[in-house]
Amino acid sequence: MSEDNFIFDTIAIVGVGLIGGSLGMAVKKRRLARRVVGIGRTEQKLMRAKILGAIDHYSMDIEKGAEDADLVVVCTPVSLIAPTLQRMAASFKAGAIVTDVGSTKSEVVRQAESVLPEGVHFVGGHPMAGSEQAGVEAAFADLFLGATYVFTPGGNTDFNALGRLTELADAIGSNVEIMTPDDHDRATAIISHLPHVMSAALLGIAEQAQHESGKVFALAAGSFRDLTRISDSSPELWRDIVFTNKSALLQAIGMLQGSMADFKLALIENDEEAVMRFFEQAGIIRQTFQRISK
Q: Which of residues 174-193 bind a second copy (CB under 8 A)?
A: 177, 179, 183-184, 186-188, 190-192
Shortest Cβ 117–a second copy spacing (Å): 30
- Least separation in angstroms between residue 159's CB and a second copy is 20
Q: Is 289 a residue that touches a second copy (CB under 8 A)?
A: yes
Quick check: 233 binds a second copy (CB under 8 A)?
Answer: yes
Amino acid identity for residue 215 in this structure: K
Smallest distance, a second copy to C-beta of residue 167, A: 20
The distance of closest approach from Cβ of residue 121 to a second copy in the complex, given in angstroms and rounded to an integer, is: 24
Q: Which stretch binds a second copy (CB under 8 A): 5-13, 43-51, 107-115, 272-280?
A: 272-280
The angle subtended at Cα 216 by Cα 211 and Cα 222, nearest 5°, is 140
Q: Which of 4, 63, 137, 226 lies at the binding interface for a second copy (CB under 8 A)?
A: 226
Other residues' Cβ atoms within 10 Å of the Cβ of residue 158 = 16
Residues 188-217 that bind a second copy (CB under 8 A): 188, 190-192, 194-209, 213, 215-217
CB atoms within 10 A of CB 1: 7
Judged by CB under 8 A, does residue 275 bind a second copy?
yes
Please check whether residue 156 is in contact with residue 113, taking contact to mean a CB–CB distance below 8 angstroms.
yes
Q: Is the Cβ of residue 97 or residue 241 nearer to a second copy in the bound state?
A: 241
Of 120, 3, 21, give the one whose Cα is nearest residue 69: 120
Which one, of 81, 20, 23, 63, lies nearest residue 45 by Cα? Answer: 20
Q: Which of 75, 239, 244, 294 binds a second copy (CB under 8 A)?
A: 239
- Verify binding: residue 242, a second copy, rule CB under 8 A: yes
CA dihedral 26, 48, 139, 190 (to 10 degrees): -110
Q: Hey, which bits of the chain come out as E strands? A: 8-14, 33-39, 57-59, 71-74, 97-100, 121-127, 148-152, 175-178
Nearer to a second copy (CB atom), residue 89 or residue 187: 187
